[in-house]
A = this chain, B = another copy of it.
């Protein structure tokens, strides 16, 4: 009976997932969403932090997840209950760790599927009482805690109650100050009770400032209570110089089978005007009703936002529906939703190329935010979704690596903005073929070197460029190939001006870990221009100070050519831009790593360009020369080093030209020439991918390269297998359905598989040497003269005769040369790939990183889809389908809570060996799962036409023979009957193709435009 158990339940009309006996699980971490800027992170222990906008406006201290989890002992809600004065038994303290053995208790936790409410519940079987509290956002009111004490028995009880919120922060405390100087901050704290009310003001007596000047603290965080008996004493709330706490002490009679409910309402940064308003509000007889209404409203608004982005599905599988809702919720929190749709074309725009550029860059997105959470202290979130009047604001920002993937998923629901997103992408790539660090509605950001911050760094993250761009292009092409064709030769795309200067080929070969020069002068020039030009200051300008423009085709080719100029035959794309790829825990690959992952994505990119570029194109004359050079070099491919040298120097020549300033001269490239180039490139890429198939059937993901100076040759060293490499090969389009199955079978047999989680790790878990095993000179080395020479200085001998390097030598850098080989022999630093091999969380040893698993799922889904369309062997299709379903089950919507480690409908970033899922919410996984969901529902688009062909659905996905979801905001109903119904107010032409139903271009267009012409579609399946 004490087993952990999960199920969906209803509370006041909302669906919740409830975990019984969650206290038998390891504590887990949870993110609550809201429709406004209210945020909350909490642990299943009850420890929490919450506030508005950012960690700088917190109601409880914003620490890392480990500290929040354990902090429940002195932070947040704390309730003591005495029933009928049973002094001998002592207070009942729900949710405390040391629950007295005199009380038999059981606990539950429940989170709403909308994702904004959580309930903690403890039943005291000894006393016949149940205590529970719920956290919920309530818009302008702030965070609400609703507590309920129920008398489950048939006797009236006298209750003494102390109900507290501990460690409430005052307004005006910076996160870093609280973290490092909390004892000083405490000295400034004052908690006041507005006389005669329950309204408590949590204040600093002054704002901590660096200068000796007065700094009045004119705002406060506020907490008040509603619903407690009139005799309740709040005076213990008042304090000075110590941590704030809201304390309510009261007593009441609780009749048999009745309950008492009360509320705490918390908000941040309230000024005098707001406090006066609160003083009035809490006197209103309907205050509770209005709080409840705001809670409902808040949920409704959030549900509407998610619904708008196609987050609501009704199937027979509630776990799937809840997970999909959560996926869309977090994708929306990251990428936002459109305030206006479809895009409004400005008639005047046709006249002016810059206006066209601006039109295409316009993305009226709101609700997106900078991400970050307490599990990742190096990322700090920032939410700006409303203005001061509560109106949504257009604002987005994100790392390149994140935001485009969220927009990719969003674009399935709002396809008409896809070419805007592509424009945003292309306008932010540089003339030398890379992309900056971050984009926002205010333009792009690149990283600069901060001398005082040793962790600051510069460089280009190269991996995402190809696959992100490709996926956006594919969406555009599927929905509207004609427009994409038109845009190809439209000269409206800009170049980002990032003041990084890749060095010459020879310099990079000599020191690939030091390949970029930061152009201080250019940086200053850009900064000086910014006040005048705004975001355009970070674009490449022509001699007249106008934004330099080129065609889409030009930009697409530059991206590819840049990668090809760093193509190491049989090894992959050379990672020589100072940044690792997707898994930045493999950061030591930088310099000597070569990425098969990027090569695989290039394979699909080239194949797509073959389809797309069925026309002559216009490009810059620099690009033309670049293409000719690379094309020519490809003939040297067989003798790798000759190709590398030739292509590398051609890349250098191209860069040299564009660093001096693009000429602006354009030229026409004939279709035949482009196609010949693409086809030659594809052959070489495919050869290299094939060559990287391992004996066990897996594929290499990354290789280490070493230039050998003497014979001008190249060594390629293979690393351990990685999940990322398999995903890339499956995605590349190179494998047949059967080959895909073989690869998936090989993966299942390999050490990548983690049985306990039924899923795949990023790489096989490895046992590291113990302290006693490492740092030991081999017996035979002990008598070497260099060992004897350095014994007592660099080397130290222990009492058992073992010899060790002095602990100061953390790597070979400072060692005497004579000892470097010996050190390498012991520590194998050449094969060091980065921190991934030295830690146990995130992308570390033994970890499942769910985003990559979902990429695998999507890749298998794509293979399966292709196999079905191509009518592959039924047996192969079935094996692919089984792989798909097994991977999907591993992801976890249907896992038991104790297997998953949290609410299984909530996406999390990773699962280490020693705990359940970690880092709730904003994982890249949600994007892949949303796209996979369209595949599962059989929704696909091709040549502007939507097809519904659900081959993955099972009977249990239907309730009473029906299943519904929204797609582009239109409700789609699948009915397990043999008739097709049409909506009265819309006329449709449905043509049947294979087993599926395909809408006409016109009807598809109504859906894409979300014009409301088609209200609902019911489809027989």
B101 A276 Cβ-Cβ under 8 A:
no
B88, B454, B796, B829: the one within 8 Å of A272 (CB)? B796
Q: Which residues of B contact A835 (CB under 8 A)?
A: 206
Which residue of B has the minimal Cβ distance to A832? B214
A802 within 8 A of B: yes
Chain B interface: which of A105-113, A836-844, A848-856? A836-844
B272 A802 Cβ-Cβ under 8 A:
yes
- The digit string for A75-112, where 1 denotes a CB below 8 A from any CB of B, is 00000000000001110010011101110000000000
Give the docked Cα–Cα distance between A377 and B513 (Å). Answer: 38
B214 A796 Cβ-Cβ under 8 A:
no
A842 B187 Cβ-Cβ under 8 A:
yes
What is the CB-to-nearest-CB distance from A501 to chain B, in angstroms, rounded to a whole number? 21
Give the docked Cα–Cα distance between A100 and B203 (Å). Answer: 36
Which residue of B has the minimal Cβ distance to A29? B183
Interface residues of A in 221-277 (CB under 8 A from B): 239-243, 269, 271-273, 275-277
Interface residues of A in 156-203 (CB under 8 A from B): 176, 179-184, 186-190, 192, 194, 201, 203
Q: Which residues of B contact A588 (CB under 8 A)?
A: 212-214
A217 within 8 A of B: yes
Given A70-B74, A768-B190, verify A277-B798 contact (CB < 8 Å).
Answer: yes
What is the CB-to-nearest-CB distance from A948 to chain B, in angstroms, rounded to a whole number? 45
Which residue of B has the minimal Cβ distance to A193? B770
B838 A280 Cβ-Cβ under 8 A:
no
B210, B219, B796: the one within 8 Å of A271 (CB)? B796
Given A73-B70, A187-B839, A241-B913, verify A455-B218 contact (CB < 8 Å).
Answer: no
What is the CB-to-nearest-CB distance from A172 to chain B, in angstroms, rounded to a whole number? 9
B89 A101 Cβ-Cβ under 8 A:
yes
B182, B220, B240, B272: the one within 8 Å of A798 (CB)? B272
B809 A218 Cβ-Cβ under 8 A:
yes
What is the CB-to-nearest-CB distance from A34 to chain B, in angstroms, rounded to a whole number? 23
B218, B240, B374, B832: the one within 8 Å of A810 (CB)? B218
A452 B454 Cβ-Cβ under 8 A:
no
B241 A67 Cβ-Cβ under 8 A:
no
Which residue of B has the minimal Cβ distance to A90? B101
B102 A206 Cβ-Cβ under 8 A:
no
A554 within 8 A of B: no
Question: Could you say which of A74, A240, A272, A590 has the most chain B C-beta atoms within 10 Å of its C-beta?
Answer: A272
Question: Could you say which of A203, A240, A805 has the most chain B C-beta atoms within 10 Å of its C-beta?
Answer: A240
A272 B218 Cβ-Cβ under 8 A:
no
B771 A810 Cβ-Cβ under 8 A:
no
Q: Which residues of B contact A213 (CB under 8 A)?
A: 588, 811, 813, 832
Count the A residues whose beta carbon is within 8 Å of the partner chain — how many?
A: 111
- The digit string for A844-872, where 1 denotes a CB below 8 A from any CB of B, is 11000000000000000000000000000
A64 B183 Cβ-Cβ under 8 A:
yes
A183 B66 Cβ-Cβ under 8 A:
yes
B102 A275 Cβ-Cβ under 8 A:
no
Which residue of B has the minimal Cβ distance to A26? B242
What is the CB-to-nearest-CB distance from A752 to chain B, in angstroms, rounded to a whole number? 19
B212, B216, B452, B838: the one within 8 Å of A206 (CB)? B838
A343 within 8 A of B: no
Give the docked Cα–Cα distance between A101 and B96 (Å). Answer: 15
A215 within 8 A of B: yes
What is the CB-to-nearest-CB distance from A697 to chain B, in angstroms, rounded to a whole number? 30
B183 A241 Cβ-Cβ under 8 A:
no
B280 A770 Cβ-Cβ under 8 A:
no
Give the docked Cα–Cα distance between A243 and B810 (Å). Answer: 23
Given A218-B805, A775-B218, verify A838-B205 contact (CB < 8 Å).
Answer: yes
What is the CB-to-nearest-CB distance from A45 to chain B, in angstroms, rounded to a whole number? 11
A875 within 8 A of B: no
Give the docked Cα–Cα distance between A86 and B98 (Å). Answer: 17
Q: Which residues of B contact A215 (CB under 8 A)?
A: 810-811
Q: Which residues of B contact A827 (CB under 8 A)?
A: 214, 216
A648 within 8 A of B: no
What is the CB-to-nearest-CB distance from A126 to chain B, in angstroms, rounded to a whole number? 13
A800 within 8 A of B: yes
A354 within 8 A of B: no
Q: Which residues of B contact A806 (CB under 8 A)?
A: 218, 271
What is the CB-to-nearest-CB distance from A530 to chain B, in angstroms, rounded to a whole number? 21
Q: Which residues of B contact A214 (CB under 8 A)?
A: 588, 810-811, 827, 829, 832
Given A186-B66, A272-B775, A772-B194, verify A210-B180 contact (CB < 8 Å).
Answer: no
A587 within 8 A of B: yes
- The digit string for A450-467, where 1 denotes a CB below 8 A from any CB of B, is 001011010000000000
Q: Which residues of B contact A374 (CB under 8 A)?
A: 183
Which residue of B has the minimal Cβ distance to A175? B180
A612 within 8 A of B: no
A181 B272 Cβ-Cβ under 8 A:
no
What is the CB-to-nearest-CB distance from A591 to chain B, in angstroms, rounded to a whole number? 8
Interface residues of A in 555-591 (CB under 8 A from B): 580, 587-588, 590
What is the CB-to-nearest-CB distance from A802 to chain B, in angstroms, rounded to a whole number? 7
A503 within 8 A of B: no
What is the CB-to-nearest-CB distance from A951 to chain B, in angstroms, rounded to a whole number? 41
Q: Which residues of B contact A590 (CB under 8 A)?
A: 212
B70, B184, B276, B840: the one within 8 Å of A187 (CB)? B840
A771 B275 Cβ-Cβ under 8 A:
yes
Q: Which residues of B contact A279 (CB under 8 A)?
A: 800
B97 A100 Cβ-Cβ under 8 A:
no
A912 within 8 A of B: yes
A624 within 8 A of B: no
Q: Which residues of B contact A243 (CB under 8 A)?
A: 66
Q: Which residues of B contact A457 (CB under 8 A)?
A: 210
A799 within 8 A of B: yes
A807 within 8 A of B: yes
Closest 6 interchain pairs by CB? A241-B840, A187-B841, A276-B798, A206-B838, A98-B98, A218-B807
Question: Can you name 26 A-B pairs with beta carbons within 8 Å?
Answer: A66-B182, A67-B182, A73-B73, A93-B98, A97-B98, A176-B180, A183-B377, A183-B841, A184-B377, A186-B841, A188-B838, A188-B839, A192-B770, A203-B771, A214-B810, A215-B811, A216-B774, A216-B810, A218-B804, A242-B915, A271-B806, A272-B771, A273-B804, A276-B798, A279-B800, A280-B799
Known: A183-B374, A272-B798. 18 other contacts (CB 8 A): A73-B73, A73-B97, A88-B101, A93-B98, A100-B101, A180-B377, A181-B378, A187-B912, A188-B838, A190-B840, A203-B771, A205-B839, A214-B827, A241-B912, A242-B914, A272-B776, A272-B796, A272-B802
